[in-house]
Structure 1
Amino acid sequence: MFIVITFLLFTALVAVIAAFKTREENLDTQDGYFLAGRSLTGPVIAGSLMLTNLSTEQLVGQAGQTYATNMGPMAWESTSCIALILLAFVFVPRYLKMGLTTIPEFLEQRYDSGLRKLITLLLLLGYLLTYLPTVLYSGALVFNQIFNISGLLQVSELQGVTITATAIGIVGAIYAIFGGLKAVAVSDTVNGIGLIIGGIALPVITVCAFGHGSFVDGIHNFINLIPAEKFNAINPANAQAPMIPWPVLFTGMVVNNLFYWATNQTIIQRALGAKNLAEAQKGAIYAAALKIITPLFIAICGLLVFYMAHNGLLSGDQVAALEKTSDLAYPTLIITMMPKPLLGFFAAVLFGAILSSFNSALNSCITLYTLDLHRPLFNPNASDAYLVRIGKRFGIVLAIISICIAPVVSLAPSGLYDFLQSCFGFFNVPILATVIIGMFTKYTPPIAPKAGLVLHVVLYSLTKTPLFPIHCHYLYVLFFLFVFQIAFQLIMGKVRPTAQPYVMKDAQVVDMAPWKHGKKAAIICIVLMLALYTLFSPIGLAG
C-alpha cells in the first residue's frame, strides 16, 4: 500500500506543477498550443528532449540488449551526442530562421505542398504503427512487473500488460490533448529530475548490495566476476542485431541518430518552441551532455542483472524468464533491488518517463495532422481555435488506435528496441536526405524526394526478405541507402533542375544570436564521449 501511495503522490505532484505553470497559457492559438508560445528556455528544452527520448523503451530495450550481448547498445545513447551538436549548430538555426512549426512545413516551402502531405502521412503512420504502441507496451511491461497487475486481476501476463497499456495511454492522452506542448514540457522537466535521481540510484544501490554495503567492494566484485567481453562496446564489423558492429558507429548509427534528433517532429518541436536561438542551442547541448552519462544507468543495468543471474542472486523462475526474453532484465532489477520505500517514487518517475514519450509523440502527431494535413486539405482558412479543437479530436482517435496496437509489440522477435529502430528505417533515411538536400541545394526539384521515397521503401523492404543476397546489420543497409538517396536526389537536381533557385526566407520570429559558449561546450561533450568509449573497450574494462 505504501508503494501505491507514494506513486500516486508523486504523480499528482507533477500534474499539479504542470497545471500551475500553464495556468496563464493561451492554448487557443497555434503557437500557444503547438509551440508553447515560443517561450521555452534551455534547461526546459533539455529536460523535455531527454524525457521525450528517455522512456521505458530505452530502459527496458537497451538493458535487455546489454544483458543478451555486451555494452555495445550504449551506442544508442552516447553517440546521440554528435547528432545533438549538429542539431544545435546546423539545423536549429535554419529552422528558427524560417519560423517553422513542423518539418513538413519546411518541405512545402522548399519543394511543394504534395511532398509536405506525403511526408506528414508517412510520419503519422510511423508513429501510429511503431513508436506509440512500443512506448505503451514497454511501459506496461515494467508496471505489470512492479505492481503485479496480471496477478492482482488474475489474468494472463499479456492481458495484464494490455490493461496497463490502456491506463497509461489514457493518462498520457490527457496531458497531450488538453495541455498542449507547454504542459508536456513542464511535466517532462519535473519527471526528468526524478528519473535522473532514481535512474542513478538503482545501479548504485545494486552495486552496494554486491559489496555487502560497500560501493567500492561492489564495483570490484562486479568487474571481476563478469567476463571481460561483457564490458566491450566495440563489436566485430560482421556482428548481427541486436549487437552493434563498430563500423556502424560512423555510418548507419549517424544516419539513424541524425534523423531522430534533427528531423523527427517529436524532438524538433521542443527546439522550435525556444524563445531564441541561444536557448535552443543550450537545450540541445545540455541534452548532449546528459546522453553521455545515460549508459551508466541504462545499459549498465543489463550487466548488473547478468551478474545477479550468474551469481545466485535471482530465483530460478527469474532466470528462466530472462532466458525467454531479455527485455525483462530492467523490470527484474527494479523489483529485486529497489528498496520498497523508494519503489513507489521510482515507479512514479518511470510512469512520468512513459507519459513523456507517449504524450510528446502524440502532441507532435496532433501538430502534424492539424497543420500539415487537415488545414491545407479541408479548411485552409481555419482559425487557430478551430485547428486546436480538430487536433484534440484527432489525438483521441490516435490514442485509441495506439492502445489497441500495443500488445502486438510483444511478438517482436529481436527485442522491442531493435524492432522499433528497424521499423524507423522505412522512412527515416528519405526524410533526413530530403531535409539536407533541401537546405543545402537550390535547384533540386520536388520529383527528386518523391521518387527517392518510393525507391527507398521498395529497396528497404527487399532487404527484409529472403530475396536479399547479403545478410548484414540493418544499420549498414540504412547507411548505404542514405548515400544512394543523397546521390539520387543530387543527380535529379542536375538532370531536372528547377527554373528558380530556392532562397531561405527569414521569418524574424525569434532573436537569432547564438550561444556564446556553445562551441566550447560541444567540444567538452565530444571529449567525454570518447572517454566513455575508451572505458568500455579492450584498452579499458574489456581488456
Structure 2
Amino acid sequence: MNIHWLDITIIIVYLVGITALGCYSGRGSASSSSSYFLAGRSLRWPMIGLALFATNISTVHLIGLAASGYDQGMVVGNFEWLAPFLLILLGLVFAPFYFRSKISTLPEYVEGRYGPGARTVLAIMGVIGALFIHIGVTLYAGAVVFQSFVDIDIIWSILIISALTLIYTALGGLKAVVVTEAVQTVTLLFGSGAVAIFAFMALGDSGITSLSELKEAVKPDQLSMVRTEGEYSWYAMALGYPILGIWYWCSDQTIVQRVLGAETERDAQLGPIFAGFIKILPVLFMVLPGVIAYVLFKEQIADNKDATLVIMIQELLPIGLQGIVVAGLLAALMSTVAGGLNSTATLVSIDIIKRVRPDTEDKKLVFYGRVTVAIVLLLAISWSTQGEKFGGIFEGINQMIAVLAPPISAVFIWGIFWARGTATAALWTLIGGFACGILVFCLDFPAVSGLFMGYDANGDAIRFFTDHMGIPFMLQAWWLFVISSAILVVVSYLTPEPDREIVARYCWKSPMMVLTEKPISGVTDPRIMSLALVVVMVICYAFFL
C-alpha cells in the first residue's frame, strides 16, 4: 500500500514526539538505581493502571486479537476478560507483600520467601521471558504492521523501531517508560476504537443492522465466548488461563515492576484493579472487529489471518486517521518492548551484578542496566526473525507463556498461601518445571517439531503434544503446573520446615486475611473496587454467552 504523505507525517511526528517525551520525563533518573529502575517509588495508581495496560497490550495483541477474532471468534476474548480476575489477585493478594517488603525485583521477594538459589533461577527465567516473549515476538509483530504500510524490509522495520525505543528506555529508566506508556495507552485505545466504529458503520452499510443478522453472517458460535470443545474450550480456559495469568500478571518482572514503583500500598493495590477495568475494552475494540472483518473482508484476508487488522485499516479508515492508528500500533509495540528492556536491566543489575559485587555503586548499576538494555535488544532482534514460524502471532506468544509460566506460578501461589514450602522445594520446582517446559516447547514449536515428527500433507509441522497427544497449549500449561506443584509439595515434606517467623513476612497466615486484614476504608477501598469489577465482568460475560 502507498500510504499517504499525511499519514507518514503523523507517524514520524508521533515517533519523534514520544521519544522526546520519554527522554525529557526520564531526565535525572540515572542519579540513583531506585530512580532509574523504580521511578523513585513515586507512581500513583492511575499511572500504574495505564502503564500495566500499555505494557500488556502490545502490537501482538492488536494484530493477534483481530486475527483470532476473524479465525476463532469471540472465544479468544477470554484472554482479555479473564485478566481482570488475575489483576484483582495481584492487587489484593500479592501487592501488599511486594510493597511492604520494599523489594526492587520479584526474585528478591522469592529470596526472602525461599532463599538465594530460587532467586537466581527466577532471575534467569525472567530475563528469558522478557527476551523471547515481551520483546522478540513483539518486534516481529510491529515490523509486520510497519512493512504493510511502508515498503521497508522487515529487518529494517525492526531496527528503526528498536533504535527509537532504546533511546528513551536506556536514558530515562522506568519513569520514562511509564510516562510514555500512559500517553501510548490513550493513543492505542483511540486508534483501536476508531477501527471498531468504522467496522460497525461498514457492517450497517452492507445491510447487517441487528445482532441476529450478524450471527447468521458469521461462523457458528463465532460470537460466543464459551466453547465446549477445542483448544479454547471452557475447561481448558478455566484450568489453563489462571496458570498463565498468575505468572504474567502477578509474578513477571516486566508487568509487576510498575507496582513495585508505587508511592503507597493503596496505589499498589488500586493500580492493577484500574487496569482490570481497562482490560474490558480490547474485546470490544479488537476481537469483535476481527469477527466483523470475517463478514466484510473474508475474500481478501482468506487464510492470511494476521493481515486482518491491516486490511481493516486500509479499507475502512480515511487518510489521516490511518496514520493515527498506525502510530497507535507502533505505540503498543514500543511500550511493551520498553517495559521488557527495563525489567531485564533491573533483573541483571539488582539480582545478578549487585549480588556478585555487593559494593557496586548506584551509578555503576545504572550503567550496567543500560548495557543490558542494548545487549538484550540485539538478542531480541535476532529472535524476532523467527516470528513467522508460529503460524499465528497470538498463538505463538501464548504457547511460549504456557511452558514458561507453570513452575513460576506454582512457586508463587504456593509460596504466598502455604507456609510449609521450603527453599529446596522451590529451587527444584523452578529447575524441573522449566526443563519440562522447554521439552514441551521444542516438541510443539514447528521449527523444531518438524525435524522430529515430520510434516503433514499441507506441509505443516506435526506437533507431538498438540497433534499426537491431543493436549492444546492451555491444558499443557495446566499439567505442567500440576507436575510443578507435585515437585514443590513432595520436596517440601522431604526437607526441614522453614523458619515460621521469616515466612510470616512473605506469606498470608490464612487466605481469608486477604479480605479481613484491615477494615473497609470507603467506596474506593481496593476490596470494594474489586467487587465492582467482578460484577461488571459477570455482566459482560452474560451478554456474550
TM-score by length of 2: 0.87
> For 1:305, what is the secondary structure of its paired residue?
helix
Kept after mapping to 2: 8 A contact 1:279/1:515: no
Find the partner of 2:377 among 379, 399, 404: 399
Shift of 1:463: 4.6
Shift of 1:220: 7.3
Tell me which residue corresponds to 1:417.
394
1:350 equivalent to 2:350? Answer no
**TM-superposed deviation, 1:448:** 0.8
Contact 1:136 1:165 (C-alpha < 8 Å) held by counterparts: yes
Size of the aligned set, in residue pairs, is 505
Partner of residue 183 from structure 2, selected from 173, 190, 194? 190
Contact kept in structure 1, 2:203 and 2:292, CA below 8 Å: no
Bigger shift: residues 385-394 or 336-345: 336-345
Partner in structure 2 of residue 82 of structure 1: 85
Aligned equivalent of 2:538 = 530
Aligned to 1:540: none
Distance in 2 separating the partners of 1:299 and 1:347: 17
Distance in 2 (CA, whole Å) between partners of 1:499 and 1:209 is 63
How far is the alpha carbon of 1:334 from its aligned partner?
1.3
CA displacement at 1:330 relative to structure 2: 1.2
Match of residue 453 from structure 1 = 430
Aligned residues of 1:443 and 1:500 also touching (Cα < 8 A): no
Match of 1:156 in 2: none
User: Aligned in 2, Cα 1:393/1:462: closer, same or farther, shift over 3 Å?
Assistant: closer
Question: Which of 4, 8, 17 is 1:4 aligned to?
Answer: 8
Distance 1:368 1:515, change over 3 A: farther
Residues 11/221 of structure 1: CA separation in 2 closer, same or farther (3 Å cut): farther
The SS at the match of 1:231 is: coil
Displacement of 1:107: 1.5
Amino acid at match of 1:176: T
**CA pair 499-35 structure 1, distance change in 2 beyond 3 A:** closer
Deviation at 1:17, TM superposition (A): 3.8
TM-score (norm 1): 0.88
* Superposed CA offset, 1:456-500 (max 9, x none): 234445556477673222211212322332233123222212463
Q: Does 1:122 align with 2:114?
A: no
State the one-letter code of the partner of 2:11: F
Aligned position for 2:165: 172
**Alpha-carbon distance, 1:210 to partner:** 2.5
Tell me the distance in 2 between the aligned counterparts of 1:456 and 1:337.
46
Q: Distance in 1 between matches of 2:470 and 2:205?
A: 46
CA distance in 2, matches of 1:218, 1:165: 42
Distance verdict in 2 for CA 1:499–1:421, change over 3 Å: closer
The 5-angstrom pairing of residues 63-212 of structure 1 reads 63-147=66-150, 149-150=151-152, 160-212=153-205
CA distance in 2, matches of 1:519, 1:98: 21
Contact in 2 for aligned 1:67/1:326 (Cα 8 Å): yes
Q: Is 1:285 matched with 2:273?
A: yes
Distance apart, 1:528 and its partner CA: 1.9
Structure 1 counterpart SS, 2:359: coil
- Pair 55,218 (structure 1): closer, same or farther in 2 beyond 3 Å: farther
In structure 2, the gaps of 5 or more residues are: 444-452, 454-463, 507-517
Rate the CA distance shift 1:384–1:146 in 2: closer, same or farther, 3 A. Answer: same
In the TM superposition, residue 48 of structure 1 has moved relative to its aligned partner by 0.5
Is the 8 Å Cα contact of residues 36 and 273 (structure 1) preserved in structure 2?
yes
C-alpha deviations, 1:142-177, integer Å up to 9, x for none? 111122x24xxxxxxxxx222101111111111211
Instruction: Give the Cα separation in 2 of the matches to 1:19 and 1:131.
Output: 22
How far apart in 2 are the matches of 1:334 and 1:355?
20
> Using the alignment, how far apart are the partners of 2:407 and 2:220 within structure 1?
39
How far does residue 221 in structure 1 lie from its aligned partner after superposition? 5.7
Aligned to 1:328: 307
CA distance in 2, matches of 1:57, 1:499: 42
Aligned to 1:61: 64
Amino acid corresponding to residue 88 of structure 1 in structure 2: G
Say whether 1:434 aligns with 2:411. Answer: yes
The question of 1:478 aligning with 2:477 is answered: yes
In structure 1, what is the Cα distance between the partners aligned to 2:36 and 2:481?
A: 34
CA distance in 1, matches of 2:80, 2:423: 34
Contact 1:195 1:349 (C-alpha < 8 Å) held by counterparts = yes
Deviations 1:104-130 (A, max 9, x none): 111222222222111111221232234
Rounded Cα–Cα distance in structure 2 between residues aligned with 1:213 and 1:15: 41
Aligned to 1:313: none
CA distance in 1, matches of 2:188, 2:437: 36
- Identical-pair percentage: 25
Q: Please tell me whether the aligned partners of residues 29 and 175 of structure 2 are also in contact (alpha carbons under 8 angstroms).
A: no
Identify the residue that residue 155 of structure 1 maps to in structure 2: none
Q: Residue 14 of structure 1 aligns with which residue? A: 18
CA distance in 2, matches of 1:341, 1:63: 22
1:520 aligns with 2:528: yes
Native 8 Å contact 2:248 2:255 kept in 1: yes
Aligned-residue offset at 1:227: 3.8
* Equivalent pair of 2:138/2:333 in contact (CA under 8 Å): yes
Structure 1 unpaired stretches of 5+: 151-159, 311-315, 507-511, 538-543
Q: Who is 2:30 aligned against? A: 27
1:3·1:343 contact (CA, 8 Å) conserved in 2? yes
Q: 1:84 to 1:499 in 2, by over 3 A?
A: closer
Aligned AA (2:168): Y
